[in-house]
Amino acid sequence: MPLVAGIDSSTQSTKVEVRDVESGRIVAGGRSAHPTVTPPCSEQDPQSWWHAFESAWDRAGRHEVTAISVGGQQHGMVALDGDDAPVHPAKLWNDTESDSDAGWLIAQLGSAQAWAAAVGSVPGAAFTITKLSWLHRTHPDAWRRIARVLLPHDYLTHRLTGAYTTDRGDASGTGYWSAIDEDYRLDLLSIIDAERDWASTVPTVLGPMDIAGEWGSSVVAPGSGDNMAAALGVGLRPGDVMISIGTSGTVSTVSPTPTSDPTGAVAGFADATGRFLPLVCTSNAAKVLDAVRDLLDVDHDTFDRLALDAGPGGPVLLPYFDGERTPYRPAATGSITGLRTDVTREQFARAAVDGVACGLLDGLDALGAALGGDSGIDGRIVLVGGGARSAALRSVIAGLADRDVILAEIDEAVATGAAVQAAAVSEQVDHGVIQQRWGLGDGAAVDGVDGGDVRERYADFRDSTAG
């Protein structure tokens, strides 16, 4: 029985899925936690990801697999010296210390529009290029020791193969690889350091069906960013929109053509198959629900029940607890309006759910605007991620979205997508062949609840706090 493995290396943990190539059945799995991080300084030792993989692999039973692939958290900066040791802890996507560098870089090129035209996205603090600017500005000694710059998934692929590779999907989130031109923009890196040989510093970009190397007797696929792997894992269909609810929230769709949004709301990513993955990311999603649940001192089921018992019309919460990426407010904190002396626990829980749901649906609106009036994203909303386990959040999104909403049947979209890629590369067949064989793309319909006028009240509160 041939097996493949998919790895999900996220902000919080590394997860491994081992699947049967023919049926897609999960044979084994393992998980190991990463060090906890909290913005604005969000850093991890990349070597801890490898240790977490080894631990998760042990827990999965160390099966013999024909192929393996890594899906990793996007954007992070992994700067290595000539001996492949980190010159500084890896900056993660949700680290916001490079916010001023983002503004400086935009000014150097002339405008946000110029960046969107160059690489498909406007760099914010999440993007790798801003983190490189921060390291150059704040740690010159570490900067001088850099030999390689990788992304988190690249680092784990390197530990498996010894090669320095990435893929087009993850590369498109750096701010210096263009999904429009399908190539590096080394001139943009030269804005930071014109003396460095950037061509030898960045990894080779592999195609969707290329082989990164071997790990023992296993083929190592190119891997990709977590959002690209998740799109593979849920079997995202043309016209569908995926809303992934984890530490952050993302709203994305597959597109046959690249996008370029000068507002910066929509990142013009490539995907892992040769197409494109325009995406909106919010920094705050499931962790907002967890924070409010902890304040109320209740379990997940009780929290959902409280929120659904409240009904619409209570307080409005802006869920920008740890700064926000969309809208771009890196220094923001959460805020609430409409509190009265008779406020209830139920209303407080509902305000948190409504706030997260409205933020995600704002992302859906931005995606439609960037793709144009005839965007074609009028299909299903596919919910995925740990936060999608919240019955209250699912029901509120379905009630506000005015379209079919389903909950993806898979539990770990990123690990599943990485396994899809591993199988496709191993057999050299289209990813869709594997998705169809494994029955990916289905889910349970979600019934909506009345949201009242919360989106209008949320928008008013959001706009009143801008600036």
Q: Please, what CATH class does the domain formed by 3-226 belong to?
A: alpha beta
Domain ranges, ordered by start, for the chain: 3-226
Contact criterion met (CB below 8 Å) for 285 and 360:
yes
> Would you tell me how many other CB atoms lie within 10 Å of the CB of residue 196?
18
The average pLDDT across 412-416 equals 95
Model confidence at 311: pLDDT above 80: yes
pLDDT tens, residue by residue, 70-81: 999 999 999 999
Contact criterion met (CB below 8 Å) for 175 and 119:
yes
pLDDT class of 374 with cuts at 50, 70, 90:
low
pLDDT class of 339 with cuts at 50, 70, 90:
very high
Model confidence at 373: pLDDT above 70: no
Contacts 24+ apart (CB under 8 A), 308-313: 308/350, 308/391, 308/392, 308/395, 308/449, 309/346, 310/344, 310/346, 310/347, 310/349, 310/350, 311/350, 311/450, 311/452, 312/350, 312/354, 312/450, 312/451, 312/452, 312/453, 312/454, 313/452, 313/453, 313/454
Alpha carbon distance 92, 76 (integer Å): 4
pLDDT tens, residue by residue, 135-168: 999 999 999 999 999 999 999 999 999 999 999 9
List, in sequence order, every residue forming a beta bridge with 214; answer none if it has no partner: 219
What's the pLDDT at 36? 93
Model confidence at 238: pLDDT above 90: no
The backbone region for 297, taken as left when phi is positive above 0, alpha when psi lies in -120 to 50, beta otherwise, is left
Model confidence at 412: pLDDT above 70: yes
Alpha carbon distance 465, 462 (integer Å): 5
Contact criterion met (CB below 8 Å) for 428 and 304:
no
Alpha carbon distance 426, 13 (integer Å): 26
153 closest CA partner among 101, 212, 98? 212
Q: What integer best gives the mean pLDDT of the chain?
A: 95
Token pair of 165 as six digits: 């590779």
pLDDT class of 37 with cuts at 50, 70, 90:
very high
126 closest CA partner among 326, 369, 356? 326
Catalytic residues: 226
List, in sequence order, every residue forming a beta bridge with 69; answer none if it has no partner: 6
What's the pLDDT at 82? 98
Contact criterion met (CB below 8 Å) for 316 and 355:
yes
Alpha carbon distance 186, 81 (integer Å): 20
What's the pLDDT at 237? 84
The residue count of the chain comes to 467
The average pLDDT across 448-459 equals 97
Model confidence at 467: pLDDT above 90: no
The average pLDDT across 272-289 equals 94
What's the pLDDT at 320? 96
pLDDT class of 375 with cuts at 50, 70, 90:
low
